[in-house]
Structure 1
Amino acid sequence: MNSVDLSQVPMLDLFRQEAETQTQVLNAGLLALERTPTAAKPLEACMRAAHSIKGAARIVGLPAGVDIAHAMEDCFVSAQQGNLVLGHEQIDALLHGVDLLSRVANPPADDAAWADHAGRVEIDAFLVALHNSAVDRGNGQSGLDSALAESLLIEATAPDVEALAVHDTLKSEDFRREVPARHHENRESPDRALRVTADNLNRLLSLSGESLVESRWLKPFAGSMLRLKRLQRNTGRSLDKLHEELSDLALDEQAQTTLAEVRRLLGECQHMLSDQLAELETFDRRSVNLSQRLYDEALACRMRPFADGTGGYARMVRDLGRSLGKQLRFDIIGETTQIDRDILEKLDAPLGHLLRNAVDHGIESPQQRVAAGKPVEGTITLEARHSAGMLQINIADDGAGVNLDQLRDTIVLRKLANHETASQLSEVELLEFLLLPSFTLRDTVTEISGRGVGLDVVHNLIKQVRGTIHIFNQPGHGTRFQLQLPLTLSVIRSLLVAINDEPYAFPLAYVNRTLELRREQIELLEGHQHFSFEGRQIGLVSAHQILQSGEFAQHGDTVPVVVIGDHGSTYGLVVDRFLGERMLVVQPLDTRLGKIKDIVAGALMEDGTPVLIVDVDDMIRSVEKLISAGQLDKVQHSAAASDADRRKRVLVVDDSLTVRELERKLLSNRGYHVVVAVDGMDGWNALRSEPFDLVITDIDMPRMDGIELVTLIKKDPGLKSLPVMIVSYKDREEDRQRGLEAGADYYFAKASFHDEALLQAVMDLIGAAHA
């Protein structure tokens, strides 16, 4: 590429950006002028926008753009001077000019010289049409002055000499030197805009989320330091007692000096530990605060105002209404509402379809509105706002609403339900049929509707961004579509559950209900297990079978169930237990893994534990495949089956991943049901939520060590008979004695650890794996 090309390419990019901005101003201004033709502010804005595009087109050497913008500018100036009133015909012509300016800035991909050849004819026709629409035709409006009329005709027949001169200037050496300098000045601006790829932003947000998770590791570490401080304090007290007891004995001078030195060193250690702990707590606060700010800033980079995605809707509604002979008012509320960039981009098609649906299906013709006692002008409203931690978007019209009787007849006609069933459906259930594929209330097909491809596509697109859609209807007064969406795709509000002792996250947008089913509520119908939910029989499925992760073993009298799906496909997934709700930072899976069955992404919990986020739609498909193949397993829920096949449950508590996994695999292979905990606090929470036959614990762990855990177990009336085994690296006799005094039933040194010894110790304490 030569030097001339290098100078022109960036200028053309700048022109395209400016043209995009100014055409949005022109569209908005012209739509406002259509309602109030003499409004000063829209006229001024449109005049300035046309003038800016004209100047920019001259700089980059686009005569067609200069001609169009100059003609439009003359019209706006004439309207400002009172020589021209902009009616519907003039607005139509000027809007066509806006479309031509967009095409000049972004010519067809297969015809880069469109504005110089094929487009020139269309542009000249536009200039003539603009002249004709502006000239008084006896309609009572002020005619266009002769000077402007002559100017428009000249634009349509003669080249722009000034623009050609500027185009020649672009090729000069002076311009080639000037352009890079001008761009250098732009780069030095403190408010300059930089282009950053979406992948870079995603990685930045991911890293800031990891930083936030890592910063929270300091708090449990500070807790372990506090325990060390308590231990030192207790050591000091024991040393003071020893000093008092020895004071009556005649110790030699060396012994007294040594004892004094030990007390002094211990005191220094205590002071140093206190200082270090205070500094650690300060660093912890600063680290968490800084990580949170970093994450908030990274998240803010992904957020855009709702107005960024609504620029073309007003024009679309206006043009579609005019083509259908309907008078419309379109209002957008909440344009400054912040929305995730990815969600905003994916909302473009659904919102566009819902607005076209409102114009075509919702708003009646002027004659029908007058007959119904309504204003001739129909109103469509698009609103975005934050509500209860979610993004809520409403598309409402004041049209006729949905005729429920016609909807029932269509449902029966399409054999989606019989007469008896359709007559018993509630309004909410009836309206949900509108979201089914190929469903339409139109008898004829037009360019706009009647093909049955629409609301089901909208429904699917909304589900892709983890959202929901609801329809509210007032017959004779209008319809409202309400979209509930997450504020961002980067953070997900989820339900955490345990499946085979591993955490999984269900996006809350896909969770209908969580239940604790009693045994007597589970029924067997046609070989499949069901339960009653909201007046319907819902199939019961084990999440263990879907994820191919172990088997469900019931404990207690209830079964934890997560209800997912819609009215067409609703199922209850049996899990081990509920772990609560969490806000998780979504971590995309490595693309080299491909699509992982039933999993959509990953995340890290506050303690750094990885968790997989379930793909609910994929999981529903997996359930249906198992049902169609006749391979769906039954959930063992009867008392007889539960008692006969019950495996002994062992809780392994160790902060070392290697040791944890070694013990878990060893015991699982021998038939025991093993649950793992990462430290004493995690183990204590597990003990309070479910029953175990044995606890195997380490001693040195963060948050709560093994001695504290054993002490809590033996003090609890319901757990004091639970056998506890300590497996520790500490193999001194005093360490063993300390563990046994705390209440441990067995002390096992890791130094002498081997498989059969551990298994034999477990057998001695609780017997074989199966009861």
Structure 2
Amino acid sequence: MSTEDLRDYSLHDLFRMEVEGQRQVLTDGLLVLERSPSAAAELEACMRAAHSLKGAARIVGLSAAVGVAHSMEDCLVEAQHGRLTLGNDAIDVLLRGVDLLSRIADTPTQEADHWSQEDTPEVDHFRTALAAALDAGDAGEPTAIPAAAAIEATAADAPAAVTGTGKHDAETDAEERVLRVTARSLNRMLGLAGESLVESRWVDPFIRSLGRLKRLQQETAHTLDRLNDAWSAHPSDHVSMAILAEARARIAECQRLFGDQVGQLELFDRRSASVAHRLYDEALASHMRPFADGTRGFKRMVRDLARELGKEARLEIAGEATQVDRDVLGKLEAPLGHLLRNAVDHGIESPVARLAAGKHVEGVIRLEAHHVSGLLEITVSDDGQGIDIERVRAATVARGLADEATAQRFTEAEVLEFLFLPGFTIKDVVTQISGRGVGLDAVQNMVKQLRGGVRLSSRHGQGARFHLHLPLTTSVVRTLVVDIGGEPYAFPLAHIVCTAMLPRDDVQLLEGRQHFQLNGHRVGLVGARQVMDGTESASAPEQLCIIVVGDRTRGHEYGLAVDRFRGVCELVVQPLDPRLGKIKDISAGALLDDGTPLLIVDVDDLIRSVERLASTGHLTRLRYDDDAEAVARKRVLVVDDSLTVRELERKLIESGGYAVEVAVDGVDGWNAVRLGQFDLVVTDIDMPRMDGIELVALIKKDPRLRTLPVMIVSYKDREEDRRRGLDAGADFYLTKGSFHDEALLQAVIDLIGEAAA
């Protein structure tokens, strides 16, 4: 959810959303700690989550939640320091504490008075249970998994290896044995293989340039031949003719040697390219998993669901050995589950209806996967009743999506497309299984994220069939390469609506925003330079290079003005170093054929950045030489890992007329402050990955940023905490207890003046 989507939420709503996110962190971490009580990373993550919820609850005034989170935090800190070990009983109570926090957060605002006091029966019961669990022996030795059980678990997790007794079987085992390789190592190997593939392409243009040089030598030799023929016809200078003959002989020798070397270089090029391709193919193969790994549990699900509905059905799976990129496979489980549930619920008839139709009483659903033309094709089909086209057509009219006359003109394929719309359903009754119209919408969205497509066909009385076409891997992407601010960027083709060359005179101005007409509708115009690096060209050219991105049906379509189009290119995706965190508007990197590095744009993130600029009033127009200078608002960056605190600070500062951007932790804040232009940074201290003190120190050590004012806003109000922040270079230290007055906004004004630049 973007920052602007949170603008109208109350503090209680924001706290509820924060608890929802942190609940998963706590639950996952506690389940790990149940098996490994001393796992440092999980202890740290759980402690930070509890600390964040405690601060957020204090702001909202839910003292009961403060008490629960504080007790959890104390317990986790003690475990971090080795003064107690979290046993099973303690984990049980902590998980109940997570449930209690969710219960408090889910209480409607008007009914939340009960939780405004810390000493409620629920909180007292939680503290008593936690103390009892710890006193019962959980502070003793860590609960360990027996070695034998650990070995069995490891064996169960690993794919079964082939076993044999003879020498031949042993050799086969050696070749086919299963080794454990971390995903991180696998990604690195795939990245290096991709770099090798790109580097192998460098020799080809070099060979072509040598070929041109060879042709130039040949032309020079031909010129000398003609000159020699002329002198032979009219001999006048025997010395010159001798020199010319010697030059011709040397050129001929150079051509011979040059030809030999070019031939050797071409041979090397072919061998290098072959090795690089084989290396990349092998690395890519190690990144793949059999389709069966993503279908476990589907057969049981189909069987149980059919019995629940009073039907009989079985699932057949074909192509279980088909290799699929593990990242693609991981995202297929939810959409395939939707399609299988739909097949059972909507497609397969009751036993009586099947017998009446001359079918076997047991319905068959088939799930197939195979490779076709470099793509992964997945088919989900059933032998049920098919889709009632006329019923879908009638539902289209009933929901106001088309009038009767228009609906009758739709082809069968066009009618079936309506089933993928959000909220569209032909069922009259909503059940736990279906009827809400979200299943096929979710399928299509996931397929789009994977840069694929989905197609539906149906035959009355014979069943329906879904065809999913997906890339074999997410490590290679087809893109449009463009220049923005003198740097190359790549836009995935799957996320581009269209491109256009737009005359400058076709740009229209409406309510201060620039637009242009595209196929009869208005599209907002945005300068890509401002979104990507915060700058703008001095003047726009007469012909604008436009990339249209977004979704018109949802009102999120924009035209990005880039400097120039370079062309379509297939790139090997190079994941960015995870220590960089999430880089704004960027998903990955890549190398062009000539070795030039470039960044691949995260189009969804870029659209959110455009909307953020628009909502804060900081989106500027493409300017021409005759434009007047606009008055810019001063920009403030708010850095805090608590959603509740972050949004409260943003609202308070924006009320003073400032343009505010937010960052979710220290690393995100450091990336933002390096890449953007801000007049002030407001930061918390306790944050994951990089705390506020480190962030302040980095800013003040940077020659370009050292004059940037920084304000620390923290719960820590001790004098030593204040001194630590100011010693790091902070210009102001404010405690979060001052949120409910104008102290924060006044401090901003004191540091950088009024909002207008």
* Normalised TM-score (structure 2): 0.51
Post-superposition offset of 1:326: 0.8
Equivalent residues of 1:395, 1:480 under 8 A apart? yes
Q: 1:237 to 1:410 in 2, by over 3 A?
A: closer
Which of the numbers 542, 562, 567 marks the counterpart of 2:553? 567
- Written as runs of structure 1 = structure 2, the 5 A alignment for 1:30-109 is none
Corresponding residue of 1:199:
184
Question: Over the residues paired in the alignment, what is the CA RMSD in angstroms?
Answer: 4.8
Equivalent residues of 1:562, 1:575 under 8 A apart? no
- Does residue 278 of structure 1 match 2:260? no
Which of the numbers 276, 281, 296 marks the counterpart of 1:291? 276
1:592-649 CA-partner distances (Å, limit 9, x unpaired): 221111111111121212222111111221222233234434456xxxx58999xxxx
- Distance in 2 of aligned mates of 1:237 and 1:498: 43
Equivalent residues of 1:493, 1:507 under 8 A apart? yes
Which of the numbers 491, 495, 501 marks the counterpart of 2:480? 495
- Does residue 602 of structure 1 match 2:589? yes
Q: 1:584 to 1:353 in 2, by over 3 A?
A: same
Post-superposition offset of 1:355: 0.9
Which of the numbers 449, 454, 467 marks the counterpart of 2:452? 467
- Distance in 1 of aligned mates of 2:538 and 2:376: 37
- Does residue 218 of structure 1 match 2:196? no
- Written as runs of structure 1 = structure 2, the 5 A alignment for 1:5-404 is 189-233=174-218, 241=227, 248-249=236-237, 265-367=250-352, 376-387=361-372, 389-397=374-382, 398-399=384-385, 401=387, 403-404=391-392
Corresponding residue of 2:613:
626
- Distance in 2 of aligned mates of 1:202 and 1:284: 26
The amino acid that maps onto 1:196 is V
Equivalent residues of 1:552, 1:575 under 8 A apart? no
- Distance in 2 of aligned mates of 1:515 and 1:377: 54
User: Which structure has more RCO (C-alpha within 8 Å, separation ≥ 6)?
Assistant: 2
Equivalent residues of 1:186, 1:192 under 8 A apart? no
Worse overlay, 596-605 or 464-473 = 464-473
- Does residue 585 of structure 1 match 2:599? no
Equivalent residues of 2:375, 2:470 under 8 A apart? yes
- Distance in 2 of aligned mates of 1:621 and 1:614: 13
- Distance in 1 of aligned mates of 2:283 and 2:592: 19
1:562-590 CA-partner distances (Å, limit 9, x unpaired): 34436213333333343332221111111
1:651-687 CA-partner distances (Å, limit 9, x unpaired): xxxxxxxxxxxxxxxxxxxxxxxxxxxxxxxxxxxxx
Post-superposition offset of 1:273: 2.0
Equivalent residues of 1:564, 1:573 under 8 A apart? no
* Secondary structure, aligned partner of 1:495: strand
Q: Which has the larger radius of gyration?
A: 1
Equivalent residues of 1:364, 1:399 under 8 A apart? yes
Which of the numbers 505, 520, 544 marks the counterpart of 2:490? 505
- Distance in 1 of aligned mates of 2:355 and 2:537: 66
1:681-725 CA-partner distances (Å, limit 9, x unpaired): xxxxxxxxxxxxxxxxxxxxxxxxxxxxxxxxxxxxxxxxxxxxx
Post-superposition offset of 1:360: 2.5
Equivalent residues of 1:393, 1:482 under 8 A apart? yes
Q: 1:425 to 1:349 in 2, by over 3 A?
A: farther
Q: 1:435 to 1:619 in 2, by over 3 A?
A: farther
Which of the numbers 524, 546, 554 marks the counterpart of 2:531? 546
- Written as runs of structure 1 = structure 2, the 5 A alignment for 1:370-449 is 376-387=361-372, 389-397=374-382, 398-399=384-385, 401=387, 403-404=391-392, 407-408=395-396, 446-449=431-434
Q: 1:525 to 1:367 in 2, by over 3 A?
A: farther
Equivalent residues of 2:314, 2:364 under 8 A apart? yes
- Distance in 1 of aligned mates of 2:612 and 2:369: 39
Post-superposition offset of 1:257: 9.1
* Secondary structure, aligned partner of 1:199: helix
Corresponding residue pairs, total: 463
The amino acid that maps onto 1:586 is V
* Secondary structure, aligned partner of 1:567: helix
- Distance in 2 of aligned mates of 1:374 and 1:365: 11
Post-superposition offset of 1:410: 8.2
Equivalent residues of 1:518, 1:559 under 8 A apart? no
1:407-454 CA-partner distances (Å, limit 9, x unpaired): 458857xxxx89999989978888777667777766766554467765
The amino acid that maps onto 1:596 is I
Post-superposition offset of 1:321: 0.8
- Distance in 1 of aligned mates of 2:522 and 2:361: 48
- Distance in 2 of aligned mates of 1:335 and 1:445: 34
Work out the percentage of aligned pairs sharing the same amino acid: 52
Equivalent residues of 2:544, 2:561 under 8 A apart? no
Post-superposition offset of 1:520: 6.8
Q: 1:207 to 1:432 in 2, by over 3 A?
A: same
Equivalent residues of 1:407, 1:430 under 8 A apart? no
Equivalent residues of 1:339, 1:487 under 8 A apart? yes
Q: 1:371 to 1:540 in 2, by over 3 A?
A: farther
Q: 1:386 to 1:643 in 2, by over 3 A?
A: farther
- Distance in 1 of aligned mates of 2:562 and 2:409: 32
- Written as runs of structure 1 = structure 2, the 5 A alignment for 1:674-713 is none
Equivalent residues of 1:552, 1:576 under 8 A apart? no
Q: 1:506 to 1:421 in 2, by over 3 A?
A: farther
1:538-583 CA-partner distances (Å, limit 9, x unpaired): 3333333322364396555565433443621333333334333222
Equivalent residues of 1:496, 1:504 under 8 A apart? yes
- Distance in 1 of aligned mates of 2:477 and 2:203: 24
Corresponding residue of 2:640:
none
- Distance in 2 of aligned mates of 1:443 and 1:461: 26
The amino acid that maps onto 1:199 is R
The amino acid that maps onto 2:312 is Q
1:361-415 CA-partner distances (Å, limit 9, x unpaired): 4434345556788765444332334455432323234346374367458857xxx
Q: 1:465 to 1:566 in 2, by over 3 A?
A: farther
The amino acid that maps onto 1:404 is V
Worse overlay, 556-565 or 338-347 = 556-565
- Distance in 1 of aligned mates of 2:386 and 2:293: 31
- Distance in 2 of aligned mates of 1:270 and 1:623: 59
Runs (5+) with no aligned partner, structure 2: 1-142, 153-163, 629-757
Q: 1:316 to 1:538 in 2, by over 3 A?
A: same
- Distance in 2 of aligned mates of 1:383 and 1:488: 18
Equivalent residues of 2:397, 2:404 under 8 A apart? no
- Distance in 2 of aligned mates of 1:444 and 1:564: 34
Q: 1:229 to 1:445 in 2, by over 3 A?
A: closer
Worse overlay, 457-466 or 281-290 = 457-466
- Distance in 2 of aligned mates of 1:234 and 1:307: 63
* Normalised TM-score (structure 1): 0.50
Corresponding residue of 1:743:
none
Equivalent residues of 1:496, 1:503 under 8 A apart? yes
